[in-house]
Amino acid sequence: MNEISIGAVGAAAIAGLVSLLGLIIGKEQKVSEFRQAWIDELRKSFVAYLVNINAIGDALRLKKAGQPIDTSAFIAIYKSLNEASHGITLRVNATEAAAKALMKSMSEFETLAENNASLTPEKLRDAEKAFVGAATELLKFEWNRVKRGEEIFVVTKRIVCVVIVATLMFLAYAWATREKTDDDKESSRPTLQLVQMQRSGWMM
């Protein structure tokens, strides 16, 4: 009866832990899907930001070559650049190191863009290089996070695995102890029978 009880409790405990782990994995998969979609949208904002930086650089090169610049088109470029900038700002976590580096590169470019006299193609290339480097690091960081999983998932998975192993070890110990107890009982029975026989003979 004890063996059945221990086995039933152990099986129920393991089944419950496995079910919990399955629920966590399902939720984690959904979160990862959302995060991947978020990364894709962030990448689009990065591309839009770079495209508009390059468009500004092209316009400045044309101006330097003596070509007239359409003011309305120039304003449209800056509008698209601002949209991309806000799209990036609203999607990143400004407290993380990778995001801080990205925001710093964007801030440097925006400071540069405030003064048309200092907005040269050479400085634009430097701003673009800094932005690409920071954006690449941020995307790498986020991709590694998707592969690793959310922090709560990682911690819970470890706890569940430890509990499952501990439960299995406990069941093995309980089973071994039960077997040893049964063996001791079996070995003591002939002695008891011999004593009883001797007592019976003595009494006769």
Q: Where in the sequence is the domain holding 174, given as residue range(s)?
A: 2-203
Q: Is 134 left (phi over 0), alpha (psi -120 to 50) or beta?
A: alpha
Highest mean pLDDT among 2-16, 63-77, 81-95, 177-191: 81-95
C-alpha pair distances (Å), 106 with each of 49, 55, 109, 130: 9, 16, 5, 9
- Cα three-residue angle 112-114-117, rounded to 5 degrees: 75
Whether pTM exceeds 0.85: no
Q: Which residue has the higher pLDDT, 145 or 40?
A: 40
Q: Confidence band (pLDDT; 50, 70, 90) for 45?
A: very high
pLDDT tens-digit map of 103-120: 998 888 888 777 666 777
Does residue 2 have a pLDDT over 80?
no
Q: Say which DSSP state 109 is in.
A: H
- Cα three-residue angle 188-175-21, rounded to 5 degrees: 170
- Cα three-residue angle 29-22-162, rounded to 5 degrees: 110
The contacts of residue 21 (CB under 8 Å, 6+ apart) are: 156, 157, 160
Distance CA 88, CA 80 (A): 12
Mean pLDDT of 58-68: 77
User: Residues for the chain: how many in total?
Assistant: 204
State the helix-helix crossing angle for 2-64 and 97-113, rounded to 10 degrees: 20
Mean pLDDT of 156-180: 72
For the chain, the average pLDDT equals 75
pLDDT tens-digit map of 119-163: 777 888 888 888 999 999 998 888 887 777 666 666 766 776 777
Report the candidate in 195, 24, 55 with the shortest Cα–Cα distance to residue 119.
55
Q: What is the pLDDT of residue 203?
A: 44
Domains: count for the chain: 1
